[in-house]
Structure 1
Amino acid sequence: MQMNIDIPVIFIHGMWLHASSWEPWMRRFKKAGYVPMAPGWPGEPEDINNARRCPALVANKGIEDIAAHFRKIMAPLGSKPILIGHSFGGLLAQKLLGEGLARAAIAIDPAQIKGVLPLPFSQLRAGLPALGNPFNKSRSVALTAKQFRFGFGNAITEDESNELFEKWAIPSPARGLFEVAFANFNPRAASAVNTRNESRGPLLLISGGADNTVPDVTTRATYRQYRKSAAVTDMQRFDDRGHSLVIDHGWEAVARDCLRWLDDAVL
Structure 2
Amino acid sequence: MTTKPNPVIFIHGLWIHASAWQPWVDLFTENGYDASAPGWPGDADTVAATRDDAGALDDIGIADVVEHYARLIDPAGGKHETKPIVVGHSFGGLIAQELLAGGYAAAAVAIDPAPVKGVKSLPLAQLRSAFPVLGNPANRHRTVSLTPKQFHYAFGNALSETESDALHDRWTIPGPGRPLFEDAAANFVRHSPAAVDTHLADRGPLLLTSGTEDHTVPLKVTKAVYALYGKGESDTEFHEFEGRGHSLTIDAGWRDVADVTLAWLEKKGF
Assess same fold via TM > 0.5. Answer: yes
1:20-65 Cα shifts (integer Å, max 9, x gaps)? 0100000000000001110110011012101011110111000001
Letter in 2 for 1:221: A
Q: Which residue of 1 aligns with 2:147?
A: 144
* Equivalent residues in 2 for 1:67-82, closer than 5 Å: 67-76=66-75, 79-82=82-85
Q: Is the 8 A contact 1:202 1:266 kept in 2?
A: no
Give the Cα–Cα distance (whole angstroms) in 2 for the partners of residues 140 and 49 of structure 1: 15
Percent identity, please. 49
1:84 aligns with 2:83: no
1:89-118 Cα shifts (integer Å, max 9, x gaps)? 000001111112110000000001000110
Letter in 2 for 1:47: T
Shift of 1:196: 1.1
Question: Among 196, 199, 204, which residue is 1:201 paired with?
Answer: 204
Q: Which residue of 1 aligns with 2:178?
A: 175
Letter in 1 for 2:65: I
Shift of 1:5: 2.5
SS at match of 1:258: helix
Structure 1 consecutive aligned stretches of length 4 or more whose deviation exceeds 6 Å: none
Give the Cα–Cα distance (whole angstroms) in 1 for the partners of residues 110 and 136 of structure 2: 28
Q: Which residue of 2 aligns with 1:50?
A: 49
Gaps spanning 5+ residues in structure 1: where?
none
Q: Which residue of 2 aligns with 1:261?
A: 264
Q: Which residue of 1 aligns with 2:12?
A: 13
Query: What do you get for the CA RMSD once the two structures are aligned?
Result: 1.1
Shift of 1:131: 0.5
Give the Cα–Cα distance (whole angstroms) in 2 for the partners of residues 13 and 25 of structure 1: 12
1:230 aligns with 2:213: no
Gaps spanning 5+ residues in structure 2: where?
none
Q: TM-score, normalised by structure 1?
A: 0.97
* Equivalent residues in 2 for 1:84-163, closer than 5 Å: 84-163=87-166
Q: TM-score, normalised by structure 2?
A: 0.96
Letter in 2 for 1:155: A
Higher mean alpha-carbon deviation, 5-14 vs 132-141, is at 5-14
Give the Cα–Cα distance (whole angstroms) in 1 for the partners of residues 197 and 102 of structure 2: 7
Q: Which residue of 2 aligns with 1:37?
A: 36
Letter in 2 for 1:8: P
Give the Cα–Cα distance (whole angstroms) in 1 for the partners of residues 187 and 219 of structure 2: 20
Give the Cα–Cα distance (whole angstroms) in 1 for the partners of residues 202 and 170 of structure 2: 40
Shift of 1:4: 4.2
SS at match of 1:234: strand
